[in-house]
Structure 1
Amino acid sequence: MPIRPEHRWLYPIDWCELSAMVRFGRAGGRCEHCRRPHGRRVMHLGDGRWWDETLSAGAGGWRDGRGRRVRVDPPRQLTLDDGTGPVPPRTTRVVLATAHLDHDPGNNRLRNLAALCQRCHLAHDRPEHRRRRAATLRARRAVGDLFS
């Protein structure tokens, strides 16, 4: 995710090197939450399950949204939990980003940084995005009250 210009001063001058060290040095080019590999196209079902071709000595296997191996019968692998029927697998390209676990861009300690794929990053930031959205809506309503 690009850094907003107004937040750029919160990041250290060597942020690119620090981010690369977290993503590729410590995490080994895989998401630290779900283990998806950086730069590859992975097949997924949209509910968090994804196909890991390196699982089981090259034979591959399904993983869940937390990177754990999913052991399900082959006919049930491609169905949604609500039972609506078969879901065609989709593919997506995985891109790792370095996320601040406490949502504070000024806290750049290594234990506060994690290499996350786009799905895990959005899931991690969901409460913070909701909080910011609510604050923005309240501010818009307050400005609207001034002029009505």
Structure 2
Amino acid sequence: MPIKPENRGFYPIDWPQLSGVIRFKRAAGRCEGCGRPHKTLVCHLGDGRWWDAEAREWRGGVQPTGRDMVQLRRTYVVLSTCHRNHDESDCAPRNLVAWCQSCHIRYDAPEHARRRRVTFLLRKALGDLFLGPYRA
């Protein structure tokens, strides 16, 4: 995932090398959440179940039925190095994880909802009468 220009100052100078170590040395080119391999086209059902072509089996849950196969989709998997605590300045190895798009968006959903709510509130007013000013 590209770094936003306004956040570039929070990342260390050697971020590309650090990200590469996390994704390819520690995680061995696979998502640390679900195990999907980097830069491959994966067949999946959208609910976390996906076909592992190397192991020739379904991963991520219950074996799909014929009715489930109607929902079959294909996605190109790209690993990204993500911050568990959403703090771009904390680049300790224990805070970094290699995730595919699906695992990353699933993990970040509560944080995205929080930021969306704050953005909505900031459009309306500078703060709340009882709670004080809104913080981004």
Number of residue pairs matched?
126
Question: What is the aligned-residue identity percentage?
Answer: 52
Secondary structure in 1 aligned to 2:97?
strand
2:92 aligned residue: 109
Measure, in 2, the Cα distance between the counterparts of 1:29 and 1:138. Answer: 40
Matched, 1:38 2:38: yes
> Scaled by the length of structure 2, what TM-score is found?
0.87
Out of 35-44 and 88-97, give the one that drifted further: 88-97
Gaps of 5+ in 2: 127-136
Structure 1 residue 103, shift from structure 2 partner: 0.6
* 2:58 alignment partner, one of 62, 82, 95: 62
Task: Give the counterpart letter for 1:34 in structure 2.
Answer: C
CA contact (8 A) 2:46 2:71 kept: no
AA matched with 1:106: S
The alpha-carbon distance between structure 1 residues 77 and 19, as it changes in their structure 2 partners (threshold 3 A), is farther
Q: Name the residue aligned to 2:4.
A: 4
Q: Are 1:87 and 2:83 an aligned pair?
A: no
Q: Distance in 1 between matches of 2:67 and 2:37?
A: 22
If the length of structure 1 is used for normalisation, what is the TM-score? 0.80
1:11-26 matches, within 5 Å, as 11-26=11-26
2:117 corresponds to 1:134: yes
The alignment's C-alpha RMSD in Å is 1.5
Q: When you count strand as a share of all residues, which structure comes out higher? A: 2
Is 1:118 matched up with 2:108? no
Measure the CA separation in 1 of the matches of 2:108 and 2:62: 29
Is 2:93 the counterpart of 1:97? no
